[in-house]
Structure 1
Amino acid sequence: MAALPAPQPDSIFVQIASYRDSQLIPTLLDLIHHAKRPDLLRIVVCWQHAADETIADFWRRGFGKWRKERVDGWAIQHLAYCDAKIELIDVPHLLTQGACWARNLLQQRYGGERYTLQLDSHHRFVDAWDTLVIDMLESLRDESPKPLLTTYLPMYDPDNDDARKSDEPRIMVYSRFSAEGVVLFRSQTLSDWSMRTRPVRSRFYSAHFAFADGHFAETVQHDPGYFFHGEEISIAVRAFTHGYDLYSPHRLIGWHEYKRAYRVKMWNDHTHEAKTRGDISEHWLERNERSFQRNRALLGVDGETTAAEHFGKYGLGAERTLAEYEAYAGISFAWRGVQPAVLKHDLPVPGVQRPDEAVWKTSLQRANDVRVGVHQKGFDKHATTLAIEQTSPALSAAMSASVTVYDSNESVLHQEVIDTSHLLRYRKGEWLDFHLDFESELERIPTAYVVELFDQGGNLLSRVRRDIGA
């Protein structure tokens, strides 16, 4: 990478990973137009694009001062707009290796800017967002030498660009452990946000909005061996163990697009057919499964262990331990456990120490993710006389259902009623297929479930039992 001029005091290195996204250019324009000091922005985009998505699309929207160089095997397209500097790492979409690989490639372009901002390629922003995030970060220096602002931003709709779902800042909260052992999140409005005078502590990290000192782009780089899921929880832990403190902004910064319907994703392109043709080296599912394994090993999910040397620079930091993060976040990776305060979405408390193992375990509830999957033939095999007398299969005739999950002692762990709207959503062809997420006592592990189908009058049509993991 060519030497860059010395960065100015409030310069921002903006990282954007973009995969075949028609919202990229509108996002760049909005980011620049709403910045108070666009001249202090150096925006680097990992531009993963198809052949019909060309640099001319940028020229037509007013980007200029074009030049091109080649660095480490990649073409870098340099542009400018309203004094902001833009660099596109030119990546043909079939050569990409995933979102985390793209983010890592971006971080190799860091040039010593004072701050760094990580985004997706589908955002809108409030006026003077740049001075707002700087002021918020700097307001935390008295309690943290390395603060990190991160959250899930509220939603906007690209089909109605003037509409904003919310003008309230949001905070990330625990959602569930996935079957693969990844901790997943959702967001909710930050309570009493208008009365707050500074950002609040957070347990988690958002890959679509993270603002920190520039050295974060060097210290906690994305692991290119990750694919997608697992990215956020791994960065949260790695940032914490490197001494960074996680905060949610108490003021609105912008909006994020969540629907995904308008854009092509990597998993639409990196298919079995593409691999057979020789267009790609690996199916996206191969990368995804390897990523899940890496995440379990890094965090010790289900007790898995791997030597720290295996991860190199993408491992945990040395300023805090994994156990300290677990105590702070109220989460046990080894036991897939969560504390009640996490389930209630209480704000985390810094400096909490994890007690001894026995006491720690008693404070946890087990996070369960049970996948319910029954084929139409299974329901017909166990149909009641009432269902057999009907002309349509039991699954098609059902208007509601119930699912009961049992432990090894045949005691009920969880029971859920599925109404008509959810039943329609969970029908996938000839399958009933969905996930049940719930908590139980730590030692009580789901071993079986029973699905019952009912007609409009509440009459039983079929009852099917399945062992979990069989």
Structure 2
Amino acid sequence: MLDSSLQMLVSQSIKTLDSILINETLPASERATVAFKILEMAQTLTLTSLVSSDVSVSSAPTPSLSLPALNFTDPKLFLHLAAYRDPELIPTLKDALKKADRPEKITFGIVWQFIPGEDERITEIMQEFPCKMIEIDARQSLGVCWARSLGQRLLQDEDFILQLDSHHRFIKGWDSLLLQQLAQCPSPKPVLSAYTPPYIPPDEIPPGYPCTRLTAHHFDEQGILSFIAGESLAFYSEPQLGMFLAGGFIFAPRQFYLELPYDPFLYFRGEEVTLATRAWTKGWDIFYPYQITLYHYYTRTNAKKHWEIHSEWYKLEQKSRERIKKILRINPLEAGESLEIYDIGTVRTLADYQTFSGINFKTQEISETASKGIPTKTVISHH
């Protein structure tokens, strides 16, 4: 637990962040810079307090929290969605509650990015849902990772997080099935992730799409690794050990967010490979689910995109790519430079991750096993 002084400081920082988010007189860049600092302070204080109360503090700059026993009997779920002008958001929330075995245990954390007068202001609608929400003028948004970073702070006492996009459909009992599969993972720090099968609005589920591995596909012209869906896992009876994460579907204990605050300085490409690398080096073991729990809307032909109205999006993307190369040590950090809470971990090394995954970030080599989504060896955290 946080002591009273820390509770007050974190509470004050959150209130200050709220005032920044609604203060449209500040330029977006200034609002973002101040908001990031407040978020980092609140997250660092929370992390430091938890570490000092639960485990001995080491000299490592990014300590790995000892997870308490996971609550699979009466868990609360935090569904975190960053939505950008997406008409599928409300249908997604309705379907999640309708199909859940225990909807009373679900809380949504929504970051709604919209343009007043063009998109629906959903404040009143969201009162129908168990929801915590941040509303942002879409013209002031700095991208998906920035939005996910803001939304993470809405986590309170929930036991598990489910990070999604804002366009999904669910199977009946999806919440129980996710918990069941996570409990099957032979790791004290498990996370489920995958590219889920598709749906077509409003509720069409095309046949023949199973759960699959995430596989390494190619490095783009800027040297950023991309993934695609691979082998079907329909014939397995337990989740399969993997090494890559999908930003649009992550299910994990709440401590995943405490140890892995989203990097708000990333834009879009590279979100998944950096998050997977940071997670693995902090002791998290990634598994691919073998049973379908939800579906994703991929085509989104007429979807509104951030880069369509943000005239300098390419500057954000360029800075993001430079940062990704430093996180993955493709390019070295400058003298005295620190990535702070957004850096890779110290529980396992980056070199070990590259061996485990069959990926070489500098030479852009993809091994045969990486192209199949299969680790080179079984490496499970015992922290």
Tell me the TM-score range normalised by the shorter chain. Answer: 0.7 to 0.9
Q: 1:218 to 1:80 in 2, by over 3 A?
A: farther
2: CA distance, partners of 1:284 / 1:103: 17
Please name the residue that 1:333 is paired with. 361
Does the alignment pair 1:267 with 2:314?
Answer: no
Q: 1:189 to 1:339 in 2, by over 3 A?
A: closer
Larger RCO of the pair (alpha carbons < 8 Å, separation 6+): 2
Does the alignment pair 1:234 with 2:279?
Answer: no
Secondary structure at 2:132's aligned position in 1? strand
Q: 2:243 aligns with which of 203, 209, 222?
A: 203
2: CA distance, partners of 1:205 / 1:307: 31
Letter in 2 for 1:13: F
Equivalent pair of 2:76/2:158 in contact (CA under 8 Å): yes
Q: 1:231 to 1:308 in 2, by over 3 A?
A: farther
Please name the residue that 1:54 is paired with. 120
Please name the residue that 1:149 is paired with. 192
Please name the residue that 2:77 is paired with. 12
Secondary structure at 2:378's aligned position in 1? coil
Please name the residue that 1:424 is paired with. none
Please name the residue that 2:35 is paired with. none
Alignment of 1:253-292 (within 5 A): 253-271=293-311, 283-292=312-321
Letter in 1 for 2:305: K
Q: 1:165 to 1:286 in 2, by over 3 A?
A: farther
1: CA distance, partners of 2:335 / 2:349: 15
Q: 1:166 to 1:233 in 2, by over 3 A?
A: same
Letter in 2 for 1:206: A
| Shift in Å, 1:305 | 3.9
Equivalent pair of 1:156/1:165 in contact (CA under 8 Å): no
| Shift in Å, 1:306 | 4.5
| Shift in Å, 1:345 | 4.3
Equivalent pair of 1:27/1:123 in contact (CA under 8 Å): yes
Alignment of 1:71-470 (within 5 A): 79-81=127-129, 85-140=130-185, 143-158=186-201, 161-191=203-233, 193-194=234-235, 196-271=236-311, 283-301=312-330, 303-306=331-334, 310-351=338-379
Equivalent pair of 1:123/1:255 in contact (CA under 8 Å): yes
| Shift in Å, 1:57 | 8.1
| Shift in Å, 1:163 | 3.2
Greater fraction helix = 2
1: CA distance, partners of 2:376 / 2:97: 34
Secondary structure at 1:350's aligned position in 2? coil
Equivalent pair of 2:161/2:251 in contact (CA under 8 Å): yes
| Shift in Å, 1:304 | 3.7
Secondary structure at 2:92's aligned position in 1? helix
1: CA distance, partners of 2:122 / 2:350: 47
1: CA distance, partners of 2:379 / 2:205: 41
- Sequence identity (%): 30
Equivalent pair of 1:168/1:252 in contact (CA under 8 Å): yes
The count of residues paired between Structure 1 and Structure 2 equals 311
Q: Which moved more, 1:322-331 or 1:162-171?
A: 162-171
| Shift in Å, 1:165 | 4.5
Greater fraction strand = 1
| Shift in Å, 1:222 | 1.1
Secondary structure at 1:156's aligned position in 2? coil
Letter in 2 for 1:51: P
Equivalent pair of 1:112/1:215 in contact (CA under 8 Å): no
Secondary structure at 2:110's aligned position in 1? strand
Equivalent pair of 1:46/1:103 in contact (CA under 8 Å): yes
Letter in 2 for 1:322: L
Please name the residue that 1:467 is paired with. none
| Shift in Å, 1:171 | 1.7
Secondary structure at 2:179's aligned position in 1? helix
2: CA distance, partners of 1:119 / 1:324: 29
Letter in 2 for 1:16: L
Please name the residue that 1:21 is paired with. 86
Equivalent pair of 1:107/1:218 in contact (CA under 8 Å): no
2: CA distance, partners of 1:308 / 1:44: 36
| Shift in Å, 1:190 | 1.9
Q: 1:107 to 1:345 in 2, by over 3 A?
A: closer
| Shift in Å, 1:17 | 0.5
2: CA distance, partners of 1:31 / 1:19: 19
Q: 1:56 to 1:305 in 2, by over 3 A?
A: closer
Please name the residue that 1:415 is paired with. none
- Per-residue displacement from partner, 1:271-299 (whole Å, max 9, x unpaired)? 2xxxxxxxxxxx10000000000001110
Letter in 2 for 1:21: D
Secondary structure at 1:236's aligned position in 2? helix
Letter in 1 for 2:281: T
Secondary structure at 1:44's aligned position in 2? strand
2: CA distance, partners of 1:111 / 1:306: 36
TM-score, normalization: structure 2? 0.77
Letter in 1 for 2:377: V
TM-score, normalization: structure 1? 0.63
1: CA distance, partners of 2:299 / 2:336: 37
Letter in 2 for 1:319: V
2: CA distance, partners of 1:329 / 1:157: 33
| Shift in Å, 1:324 | 1.0
Secondary structure at 1:33's aligned position in 2? helix
| Structure 2 residues not aligned, in runs of 5+ | 1-9, 13-70
Secondary structure at 2:75's aligned position in 1? coil
| Shift in Å, 1:55 | 3.6
- Per-residue displacement from partner, 1:75-129 (whole Å, max 9, x unpaired)? xxxx243xxx112211010111110000000111111311001000011111111
Equivalent pair of 1:12/1:117 in contact (CA under 8 Å): yes
| Shift in Å, 1:346 | 3.7
Q: 1:341 to 1:308 in 2, by over 3 A?
A: farther
